[in-house]
Structure 1
Amino acid sequence: MLLTARQLLSFQRCHRQTYLDAFGDLQNKAEPSDFLTKLRQDKAQHQQEFLANYTYERPNYPARDWIAGAQATLELMQAGVEQIHRGVLRVESDIDLVSVAIPDLLTKVPGDSFFGGWQYVPTSIQLSKRPKLEYQLLATFQAQVLADCQGVWPEVAYLYLRERGWYTVDLEKNRPKLADLLSELLTMLRQQQEPEAFIVNNRCSLCGWYEPCYAIAKSQKHLSLIPGITPSRYPILQAHNLTTTEAIAAIEPFDLQALTGFSKDVSVKMVHQAQAFVQDQPVTLALRPPGYDLPLPTAMVELYFDIEAEPSLNLAYLHGVLVINRQTQEQTFYPLLAQTPEEEQRVWEDFLALVQRYPNAPIFHFCAYEVQTVERLARLYDTPMPMIETLLERFVDLHIWVTKTVVLPIESYTLKLIARWIGFEWRNSEANGAQSIYWYSQWLETCDRTFLETILIYNEDDCRATYAVKEWLTIFLEQQATSTNGQQPLISDFATTDPHEI
C-alpha cells in the first residue's frame, strides 16, 4: 500500500475524500473548478517566487516513478547538494506499506546522518496565511520519512507561508498527533471502511466528490444538512439516539441541553432548525434582532450594496450599488468597476460620491464583509473617519436580520440559499464569489471583456437578491407582528445565536 503526504493532507480535511480517491469510481469525480485551478496556479507562483531566492537541484526521474525518484534524490543527498527541490523520500515501513513524501525544499545543515557530517531539513511552501495544524502535521510526516532516509530526525521542519513567511514546526509536539492520525488513516485504507457522507458546506463545495456525496446525504436526510450540526456535535447526538431530523425536532430544547451538554442557545437553535425542516416552513425567533430597538427600515430610497474582490491582490475591484426609488418605481444598478488594480482608489471615491447623493438612504448588505472593506479602504485612502462613521450608521446587515429573527428550512444561511428559497434565481446559475475571483484574474490576464461582463451580471444579481431577501423579510416580520400584536415571540429570550455560527 502506498501512503503519500497528499493522502495525509486530504484525510485531515475529509476522511471520505481520501477513501473515494483510493476506492471510488473516478468517473464520478468532477474536474477541478476554475477557482480551485486558480488556487493551484497561485500556489505554484508563490513557490516560484520563494525558490527564486535559492540555487537548487532537482532529481531527474520518469513521472510518478517513485523508486527512481527516491534513488535520484538519495544520490543528491549523498553528494551533499545544498538545496534539493521536490526530492522524493521513499521508505518501505513494513510488508505492505510504502511511505512517500516530496518536500518542496530539502536544505543541507550541519549534523550527523547516514551521509556523513550533514543532514537535511524539509520546508513545505503553502499559500495559507497561517500555520494550520494540517500543514504542521504534513511537515511532520515529511520529517518522519526523511528521518528514515537519513538515519536521524531533523531538528526542525519549516513552513513558508504567504505574508507570514517562515514558521518553525514543533516536531516533538506534533509527532504523537501524527502517529494517531496515521493509525486512523491506515486502518481505514486497509479495512476499506467507507466514511459517512457528512456535508460541511464551506469545505465540501470545492471537492470533486461533492455531488455524489451530497446526493447520498440528501437521500439519507443526513443530520449534517442541518445548520449547527457539526462534526464534533454529531457523535454526541448519535450517542443519545438523536439520529433523525424528526427526533431532534420533537425534543424540548432544555432536554437536549441536559442530554448533550450543548449550550442553551445552541440547543434552542438546533431544535428549531430541525422543526423548520420537518414543517418545511419558517420558525419565528423574534421581530427584530436582540438589542435592536427599531424595526427593519423601509425608506423612499434604499441602496443595496455588494463588493467583489480579489483576495490575492487585496483588491476591492467592484462596488455594486442597486438604487431602489419607491416613489418613482425606478431601480438603477451602478457597477463601479476597477478594470485594473490601480483604479481601486477611483472606484472607492466614486462609491462615496454615489452614496452621498442619497444621504438618508439606508444601505443594505449581506454579512460583515462590506463593512470591513469600507473601513479598510477608508484607512488605505485617508478618508475622513467622521464621514465613514456617518456612512456606516446607515448600513443594515441583512444576514443579522435573517438569522436573528427567523429559522428557515435551508442547509446554510448564505445569500444564495436564502434568496433561492424565497424564489430568486441568478441569471448564471453557476456564478458564485469564488468563480468571480477566477473571472477577474482571467480578465487581467487576457483582457477579454466577456469576463468583466459576466462579473457585472453576477454582482447585479447579488444586489437584487439582497433586495429580494429584504422585501420578503419585511413582509414576513410584519405578518408576525400582526399575529402577535406587536409582541416579541417568547422564543427570542433563548435564541440569540446565529445558526450560521452554531
Structure 2
Amino acid sequence: MNESIWYDDLEQFLMCPRRFQLERSMIDESEQIPDSSQLLRLGFSVEKPVLEAEIFGKRFVADPDFAIPEKDGWRLILKKDAKNFKQKYAIEAAYHAYIFSQRGFPVTGVTVRSPYFEVDLDWRNYLPRLMSLLELITTTRDELYDPKPSSLCKTCPYVVECCEALIQKKDLIAIHGLNERTRLRLLREGIEDLQDLVQVQKLKDFSKEMLEKLKKKAQALLERRPILLQPLPSFPEGLFLDIESHVTAGYDYLFGILKEDEYIPFLCEDKDQEGIVFNRVLDFLLSENGPIYHYCAYEPAHFKQLAETYGLEKKYHQMKKRFVDVYQILSNHVALPLFSYSLKSVARYWNFEWRTKLDGWRACKYFQLWLVTREPSLLDTVLKYNEDDVRATRLVVERMKSLSCQKSVTNK
C-alpha cells in the first residue's frame, strides 16, 4: 500500500498541489504508523490518538488532539491558537471523524477549541466536500501540477525549481510583481510569453520606463541571470537585524543581530519582559555605527510601535534613519530569474542553505514548546533559524555589492 497521508498533507494539497507532489516523492514508504485502537477500546480519553484507514486505495491518518468517550460514541477535540474560527477547521473535523468512524469508533461531534473560542461541529455536514477532496488527492497524476506563484511561495524550498518550470514554458507569470491586470494588458497587445516581451519595442498602454523594466525582468528569466534595473547604491558596513514574533501571545520574542561575523540574540521570554529587552536592543544598536540592514518593512515598523508603547521614542529617533530595507533595494534595482523575492527564495537562489526546516510560524511553535519544556535543543533550533535569517540578509547585500562591481568593470 502507498505511503500514509496526514491531514497536514491534505492541507498542503489545498494550498499548493505541486508542493504536495514534490514532498510526497521524497517520503520513506516504510514509515511505521502507531495505532491507538487498543487504547480507545478501553473506553478512556486518549491524548493524541492515531488511527489510519484506507480510502480510495490510499492510507489516511487521523491524529486529533483528544478523543473523549461519550454515551453514543466519541467526541474529538482539535486545539488551535487562532483568534477566530476558520472554515477550514470544519473540513479538518470531518477528516478526523470520518477516519475514526471507518475504524469502528463512531464520532458524535467535534469541538474546535482555542484560547479565544470554542465551536462544536456536526462533522457530517462537511462530509461531501471532504470526500471530493480525498478523491482528488488520490487521483493518479503522472505529471506535476503547474506552478502558481502566490504568497505561499515566500518560504517554499521549491521556488527556484518552480521558476525554472515557468521559464521553460516562457510563461509571463514568472515575472516578479506581475499582477493579473498587467498580464491581461500584455496579452491584449499580443504579448503571449517572455520571448514576445523581450523582443517588443513599444506598447501603447505602457510607458517607456515600465516597458523597459518588464523587458529586463523577462530577459533575466530567459537568460537565468541577474540584470540591473538601475545602478545600485553603496552598502557601507553595518549590522543585520531580524525579529521573531509570538503572534498569538502578541510580543516580539527574539531580536537577532549580526555584527561582523558574530550573531547576538536578545531573547524575550514573555510579554512583561518585552520593554526591558527592547531597551537593551536599542542601547546596543546606539552603541554601534553604520546602517541597520533588514529584509522587508517589519523591523522598522515594529521598532516604532515598541518605542511608542514603552516610552523609548527618544532612543528610537536617534537611530531610525539607519534602517535600510534590503528587499526594497533589491526589488527596485535588480531583476532576478525568480518570481518570488522573499528572503528564503532569493538567498536559496544564491545557494544559501538554512540549517533548520523552520519558518516563522514553526519557529514560534518551537519557542512556545521550549517555554514549557525548557528542552535546550528547541531553543537552539530557533536561534539557528534566526541566525540564518540575518546571515542570509547579509549574503543578499554581498551579492548586490558584487553585481555593482561587475557593472562598474563592464562600464570601464
Q: Which TM-score band (shorter chain)? A: 0.5 to 0.7
Query: 1:381-400 alignment to 2 at 5 Å?
Result: 381-383=310-312, 385-400=313-328
Any gaps of 5 or more consecutive residues in structure 2?
1-6, 29-63, 66-76, 86-92, 103-107, 110-117
| 1:422 aligned onto 2:350 | yes
> Which residue does 2:329 correspond to in 1?
401
Q: Is the 8 A contact 1:228 1:266 kept in 2?
A: no
Looking at structure 2, the residues matched to 245 and 49 of structure 1 have their Cα atoms a distance apart, in angstroms, of 42
Distance (whole Å) between structure 2 residues aligned to residue 466 and residue 417 of structure 1: 11
How far did 1:228 drift? 2.7
2:407 pairs, out of 480, 491, 501, with 480
Offset from partner CA, 1:366-390 (integer Å, 9 cap, x none):
111110111111122111x232122
* 1:312 match: secondary structure: coil
Choose which of 107, 118, 122 in structure 2 pairs with 1:87.
122
Residues 297 and 390 of structure 1, relative CA distance in 2, 3 Å threshold: farther
Asked if 1:469 corresponds to 2:396, the answer is yes
Q: Look up the match of 1:357.
A: 287
Task: Report what 2:221 is aligned to.
Answer: 277
| C-alpha separation in 2, matches of 1:482 and 1:453 | 43
The one of 379, 384, 389 equivalent to 2:308 is 379
- Aligned 8 A contact 1:365 1:466 in 2: yes
1:241, 1:313 → 2: CA distance? 51
- Partner in structure 2 of residue 245 of structure 1: 194
Could you list the per-position Cα deviations for residues 371-416 of structure 1 after superposition, in whole angstroms to 9, with x for gaps in the alignment?
0111111122111x23212211111111122121221222311223
Opposite residue 45 of structure 1, the aligned amino acid is K
The code of the aligned residue for 1:332 comes to: E
Alignment match of 1:452 (pick from 366, 379, 383): 379
Aligned to 1:318: 254
Q: How does 1:1-80 map to 2 (within 5 A)?
A: 17=17, 44-45=79-80
Give the Cα–Cα distance (whole angstroms) in 2 for the partners of residues 390 and 236 of structure 1.
Answer: 46
- Aligned residue pairs, count: 334
| Cα shift at 1:277 | 1.5
Larger-Rg structure: 1
CA contact (8 A) 1:436 1:455 kept: yes
Cα deviation per residue 1:246-286 (whole Å; 9 max; x = unaligned)?
2322223x42xx3xx46766544332111012222222222
Q: Distance in 1 between matches of 2:353 and 2:23?
A: 31
More displaced stretch, 386-395 vs 220-229: 220-229
User: What's the TM-score once normalised by structure 2's chain length?
Assistant: 0.63
Alpha-carbon distance in structure 2 between the residues aligned to 1:459 and 1:84: 35
Deviation at 1:30, TM superposition (A): 7.7
Go from structure 1 to structure 2 and tell me whether the alpha carbon gap of 1:317 and 1:482 turns closer, same or farther (over 3 Å shift). same
Corresponding residue for 1:296? 234
Q: Post-superposition shift, 1:29? A: 9.9
- Shifted more, 465-474 versus 274-283: the winner is 465-474
SS of the aligned residue for 2:248 comes to: helix
Q: Does residue 133 of structure 2 align to residue 203 of structure 1? A: no
Counterpart-to-counterpart distance in 2, 1:470 and 1:274: 23
Q: Are residues 1:307 and 2:221 paired?
A: no
Q: Where do 5+ consecutive residues of structure 1 fail to align?
A: 1-5, 32-39, 51-57, 67-71, 74-82, 92-97, 102-184, 289-294, 325-330, 486-502
Structure 1 length as normaliser, TM-score? 0.53
In the alignment, the residues of structure 2 paired with residue 333 and residue 345 of structure 1 have an alpha-carbon distance, to the nearest angstrom, of: 21
**Match of 1:369, as an amino acid?**
Y
Percentage of identical aligned residues: 25
Cα distance in 2 between the residues matched to 1:334 and 1:270? 40
Distance 1:235 1:454 in 2: 44
